[in-house]
Amino acid sequence: MLKTVARSMNRTLWRGVLAWILFGFGTGSQFELAIAGQIECVQDTPVQDTPNVLTCDHRVPHKSTVPANKDELVELFVRERVKDSGKEPPKVVLMIHGLSVPVLAGFELRTDHYDWALWLAQAGGFDVFMLDFQGSVRSPRPMMDDPCNVNPAQRSILIPNPLSDPFQCPSQTEASYPFQLINSKSDWDELDTVVDYIRNLRGVDKVALVSWSQGSFRVGPYAIQHPDKVESVLFFAPIFNPGGRASKAGTRFDSPAALPVSSPPAQFGFPMNLTTRTALMNSWGIELGCEGQREEGIQDFVWSSIMDNDTIGRNWGPVLPDASVEGVMRVRNPFLWGWTEPSAGRCPCSSSTASSTSKYQQLRSLFRPSTTTFRAVISCRSKSSARDTSWSGKSSAGCCIIFPRSGSSTAQSKGSPTVASLSTRRGISSRSRSMVSPNPKG
C-alpha cells in the first residue's frame, strides 16, 4: 500500500470512479468521501546523501460544517512527507497548525534545518501528514476572498489596495458577511475526516497528533472524543485557558451559542482578521529574550513562505516604493469552546515528564492544572551555562528552548493516547532548529 505510493514519482492518483459514484448519486458519509481523495506525489531531490523523501499533496473530500458553506462538498489540503525506502514507516503523524500561520510555513519551512516534517520523515522514518483547515491558505477559504469581509477596524490596511476608496464596501461599519467564520466543531469535523482518510489510506488504527499554539483547541478535545483513533498527542507551545469558554451545559462538546456567532460585533462580526508584515515582526521582536534566539534573516524567509502559500493575500496591502505589494496574512476568525479544565480532565491520556531525574521538575499535567496558568519545565541556555527554571504563561524570564525527555508520569491505560507538551516563548533558538520551526505566532 505505502510502498506503491512510495514508488510513484511525478504521478497523479485519482479515485475517480468512487468519487463519481459518490458525488453523482448522492452524498456519502464523511468516511466514504474521505477515501475518494486525489493524491499527487513528487520525489524530493536528495541532499547530502540523505534518503529520498516523497512529497504528496492530497485533496481530501469533506462535507463542510462551516456555516458559511455548510453542506458543500469541499477538498481539504493535506501534504504528506514520507521516506522512499520501500519499508513501512513505524508511525503515522498528523501535524496541526495554530490560528494564523498556515501549516506549510509552520511545519515545513524549507530552509536549512527548519523543516520539521522533513526531519521527522528522514531521521525518524515517520509518515508525516500536515493539514490546512478551511480558512487557512490551501484549503477552501469561504468569504475570505472579499476584502469587504475584513475586520472593519482593519479595513484601512487595504486602501488603496485592493480597495480603491473607503466607500467601496456596502457598509463602512460591518463586514459583508457579518459573522465569524469557523468554529470548534467545524475544525473537529475536518480533523476527523482527515484522520479517517489517513487511517484508511495507510491501514493503521491510530494516528499520532502534533499541534502548535491554538492547534491545542483542535487536537485536545478531539483526542477526548476519539481515543480509539489517536495514538499520541504532542502539544508545541500550546494555548490553554482552564477557565475559558465551556461547552453547552449538559453536553460534552456542543456549542454554547447558536452558530455562526456575530456578537459582540467587534469580536465576531466578520470572518477574517489581517496581520501585516510589520505586525508579525513586531510581535516576534518583543519576545526575543536570548542571544542568538533568532537566526538573522529567518523572519524574512518566514514571511515570504507565508506569502508563497496565499495567492490572494500576497497581492493585498501596502504598496512598496518599488511598486511591489507587501502582502497581508488573512487569518480566519474563530469561535472556540471546550478546551477547559473540566473537559481536559476527561482526557484518557497519560502525560509525559520532562525528565526522569530529580534535576528536572515533573512536567505539570496540561489536563489537570492546579493554577490558572500552565507551567512547564524548560531549559534556558547561554554560551557559558545551562539552568532550569519554571515558566508560567505570561512571565518568562527570557528563556527560549525546551528539551523534551522521554518517560511517563503515570501508567498509561490500555488504548489511551499519550501526551507530551513543549512550551516555549514564540521565538526559537537556532540551536534547536532541527527540532522545531522558528515561527513566532501560531
pLDDT tens for 377-399 read: 333 232 232 333 332 332 222 22
* 366 pLDDT higher than 70: no
8 Å CB contact between 103 and 214 = no
Is 274 a domain residue? no
Q: pLDDT tens across 135-166, in order?
A: 998 999 999 999 999 999 999 999 999 999 88
What mean pLDDT comes out for the span 348-370? 35
Q: pLDDT tens across 191-246, in order?
A: 999 999 999 999 999 999 999 999 999 999 999 999 999 999 998 888 888 889 99
**How many Cβ atoms from other residues are within 10 Å of residue 309's Cβ?**
19
pLDDT at 348: 60
Is 113 a domain residue? yes
Task: List beta partners, residue 232.
Answer: 208, 418
Q: pLDDT tens across 14-51, in order?
A: 343 333 334 443 444 444 444 455 788 887 766 555 56
Is 166 a domain residue? no
pLDDT at 335: 98
* 433 pLDDT higher than 90: no
**How many Cβ atoms from other residues are within 10 Å of residue 322's Cβ?**
5
> pLDDT grade, residue 426 (50/70/90)?
very low
What mean pLDDT comes out for the span 280-285? 86
Instruction: Identify the CATH number of the domain in which residue 386 sits.
Output: 3.40.50
pLDDT at 28: 47
Domain count across the chain: 1
pLDDT at 227: 93
> pLDDT grade, residue 290 (50/70/90)?
confident
Is 232 a domain residue? yes
> pLDDT grade, residue 124 (50/70/90)?
confident
Is 280 a domain residue? no
pLDDT at 347: 66
Is 173 a domain residue? no
Is 170 a domain residue? no
Higher pLDDT, 423 or 77: 77
8 Å CB contact between 354 and 340 = no
Is 422 a domain residue? yes
d(CA 58, CA 197): 10
* 400 pLDDT higher than 80: no
**Residue-number span of the structural domain to which 85 is assigned:** 2-142+183-247+339-432
Q: What percent of the chain has pLDDT over 70?
A: 68
Specify the pTM: 0.78
Q: What percent of the chain has pLDDT over 90?
A: 53
